[in-house]
């Protein structure tokens, strides 16, 4: 990974996770997640304190935070997120390189440990919604669906709140 790529990611993180009144750049090379038509509902995953960060109408992307709890006996590997409110969702990790630059980048999967939690926050793993179809309104609720690597789907609601 080059330093310029990390810097780009850091700039995107600044825009997307601490929204500024300008349009966030879109990570190069990212394509939409495929949808799993055969997805089956699963109840091992519960989502607590889910929230979508309110952004100004000029900002087309936002972040989703909360706590994911896996009640099942096996790790749950999440491979996608989608919502009707955005053109596509991304799974993100936040990393600091040896030079001390911190940035986020998309990742193919986020794993919720068996019987444990994965916390989604602006300084760690989180979800992002890219290409919002309409300006977000505070107090509005979005419905999001996480897909796991076995094709299971996990749907939850998240209110839009101030960062």
Residues that bind Cu ion (CB under 5 A): 16-17, 63, 92, 104, 128
Handedness of CA 37, 75, 27, 84 (dihedral sign): positive
Supply the minimum distance, in Å, between the C-beta of residue 114 and Cu ion.
26
Nearer to Cu ion, 91 or 112 (CB): 91
Cα–Cα dist 104/94, whole Å? 4
**β 45-53/102-106 pair status:** unpaired
Supply the minimum distance, in Å, between the C-beta of residue 65 and Cu ion.
10
Nearer to Cu ion, 3 or 18 (CB): 18
Backbone Cα Rg of the chain: 15
Nearer to Cu ion, 44 or 93 (CB): 93
Query: Do 93 and 27 touch, CB atoms closer than 8 A?
Result: no
Supply the minimum distance, in Å, between the C-beta of residue 28 and Cu ion.
16
Nearer to Cu ion, 11 or 114 (CB): 11
CA-to-CA separations, 22 to 12, 17, 102, in angstroms, rounded: 11, 13, 21
Supply the minimum distance, in Å, between the C-beta of residue 41 and Cu ion.
27
Supply the minimum distance, in Å, between the C-beta of residue 43 and Cu ion.
28
Nearer to Cu ion, 103 or 152 (CB): 103
For residue 64, the Cα-to-chain-centroid distance in whole angstroms is 5
Q: Longest C-alpha distance within the chain, in Å?
A: 44
């Amino acid at each position: 990974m080059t330093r310029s790529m990390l810097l780009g990611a850091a700039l995107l993180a600044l825009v997307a996770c601490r929204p500024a009144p300008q349009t966030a750049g879109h990570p190069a090379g990212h394509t939409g997640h495929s949808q799993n038509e055969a997805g089956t509902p699963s109840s091992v995953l519960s989502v607590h304190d889910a929230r979508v960060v309110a952004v100004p109408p000029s900002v087309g992307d936002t972040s989703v935070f909360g706590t994911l709890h896996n009640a099942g006996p096996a790790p749950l590997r999440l491979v996608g997120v989608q919502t009707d409110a955005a053109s596509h969702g991304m799974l993100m990790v936040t990393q600091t390189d040896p030079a001390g630059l911190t940035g986020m980048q998309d990742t193919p999967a986020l794993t919720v440990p068996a019987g444990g939690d994965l916390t989604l926050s602006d300084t760690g793993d989180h979800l992002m919604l890219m290409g919002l179809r309409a300006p977000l309104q505070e107090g509005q609720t979005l419905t999001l669906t996480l897909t796991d690597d076995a094709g299971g789907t996990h749907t939850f609601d998240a209110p839009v709140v101030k960062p």
